[in-house]
Structure 1
Amino acid sequence: MELLRNAVRPYAWGSRTTIAELLGRPVPAPHPEAELWMGAHPGDPSRLDDERSLLDLVEADPVGQLGSTCAGQWGNRLPFLLKILAAEEALSLQAHPSAEQAREGYEREEAAGIARDARDRNYPDPTAKPELICALTEFHALAGFREPQRTVRLLRTLETPGLAPYTELLAGQPDSDGLRALFTTWITLPQTSLDTVLPELLDACVLHVKERGEFDLECRTVLELGEAHEGDAGVLAALLLNRIVLAPGEAIFLSAGNLHTYLHGTGVEILANSDNILRGGLTPKHVDVPELLRVLDFSCGEMPILRGEQVSPGMWRYPTPAPEFELSRLQWALGERDEVPLHSTGPQILICTSGAVRLLDTEGNKVELGRGQSVWLPASSPQVHVVPVEGAEAQVFRATPGAIV
């Protein structure tokens, strides 16, 4: 069992309070802090108390650290990255490729001689990037294409002259193909057209919010995005996506091709250890529309909300089809003292998000985790039990590879 020291990523959309408070540092931080990374990502690997990086540790002893199954399946790499994500503003509108798309795109860009750190590089690595976000606070997101008939009702409610032809385009084909046609049209609109359509849309949203209409939340989101990203086609695309509000403990899984953005809130995010992102707007970064359209999944309907399946007293897991990771939540109410055993033949990372817990293994070793602290458990560790300190309320999130329980 090794305590971890983790990198904080200072993206502009981050919070100046959330991560600093979690880590017990002065608040506010001097600049926005968006993500706390826990894992062996080459860009910012976690470090142990003796200054070794987790990446070096895994590379030096992949079977001991990962277990033979995980090491063999993932080429001696830790397949997941665990994060605390703190969003004060919207992230870029984005989607991630499947494993097959990532391999093909990576090989294509390698053959073309595009530098892996080039601004216009889409595939810096050959791996998929599924992800799951579990809310720690109320968490707001756009994810997945809304059922088309409801989107038609939204567009007809707003009733702007500029939107009318696009509304009828979707009304004439209210299915995945119609969504593809409308999204493609919007994402490729010339700036002169956007400069006409978007102001009309924002005025209509202001009126709808004043009237507290059916689509109040969707319109408020469009207004926020329109103010922050003037003239951006991603503001139109936001009209097509499910507007989601997660309560603490609820989660959504983003599979390959799911168009999404996180808007506001704090969550625990787990994802495959990959940097492959195809952006669709709401960002000054590179947007490759043809490549985005190649990976997007235009399946539509409500996004499933995951609330966790209780697998034992004190432990809930969030099952997904992702082989790279699985997220579990350990929870104790005030006065509860149940020991939770961590059965695993693979590596684990745990982070305490509230209260304090004690980890004890069958060889008598123990580690105490306070709020904001995390620990690495290699596959070769003896079995570990977790118990709250002094019966206080406590919460811990646990990351493992998906195929290993």
Structure 2
Amino acid sequence: MNHSDNNSSVPADSGDGEFRVEFASRVQRLPPYMFGRINNTLYQKRRAGHDVIDLGMGNPSDPPERVVMEKMVEATYDERNHGYSKSNGLLNLRRELTSKYFRKYGVRLDPDSEAIVCLGSKEGFSHMCLALMGPGDTAMIPAPYFPVHMYGVVLAAGNVVALEVADSEKFLQNIAYTCQHFYPRPKLLIINYPHNPSTVTVEQDFFTEIVKLAKRYNFMVISDFAYSDVAFDGYTPPSFLASPGAIDVGVEFTTMSKGYNMAGWRVGFCTGNREMIRGLATIKGYYDYGMFQAIQIAAIVALRDTEAAIERQSEIYRTRRDALLDGLHRIGWEAATPRAGMFVWAKVPEKWLQRMNTLDFAMMLLEDGDVAVSPGSGFGPTGEGYLRMALVENENRLRQAVRQISRCLERREQDYSSAATPTTPLTK
């Protein structure tokens, strides 16, 4: 058959018009990515040779312990580790995790039915939302919110009610109020302490009240405990699962990204209510073939043998925290001292908020000061007016970042002063 014969079989109107890709409604519900402008400008500036100090993404800059890396290399030479792995993770890894929970929090967990390995806690959280949420279901989330807490629910076709976390007592009251006045009642509560981005922390009795509310109003709980291993000044972040009855109503996600410096390894866990974990396991069974076994074997060594290293890493973050806060306070900024996590949540000075929004302020610091930060508005409307600064650079670089911010603002202040006249007030 020649080409003309083949073409003659095509309908006459085929090919007319422009081919279009139409996304599913779940994707169309997502807003434009708030950090896109910053990430693109950061990339372009670095390509042009600028030494940008990046305090935007909370990407740990320190390596894992050498014994962990060595075990990873050793495990890759074992040919048995290169096949598909079970999606719920190696039993020995789950045993080490549950041993840590008992040792650190006094929580007894069954490694077979109350623990599962995830490809990072973010993957596990998103798939848990798919297992629990659907059209018409509502989740209560913290505000400001880490984006996946909002959009993991949205992608699962659920709705969200965002409740402010700054005042923990008010947060509990708002949960009760929402459950009393929404119909149908919310199906899920998402909590995140130590909180990202605001760094708010709580004590164990807060979680005890959460359990009581969950049982009274019949909602499930997901605790995002990503910063469990990074704490300072004698504070130990409590586990939601350590409160009486917590395992009856919810699960907790943890990760090896922060305290163990294994962010790129993507090792996360979900522990707690066995029915919720069974739902997650069902979704994961359809979506993935499990984590590379060599990584899991190295993670076993990390959990078993590197607890002292976690304490050292927390001390590193504490010294960075103090260096950054000292610099910010010297230039007149307001920022609370966090007891945990790897961020500082800083208030943008009021005179700058009168001139521009937080995203534009962050862009100014990047474009004119070569310092990248995360605008608070990227974490929802409640974050407007704040910046999140990650403690991922060493102390000298953090001090340098503050100097560059100060010089940038001084230059801009001079520009505003020279442009302003008595009859030309400054505007947003």
Highest Rg: 1 or 2?
Answer: 2
Q: TM-score normalised to the size of structure 2?
A: 0.29
Q: Which has the higher helix share?
A: 2
Q: Which has the higher strand share?
A: 1
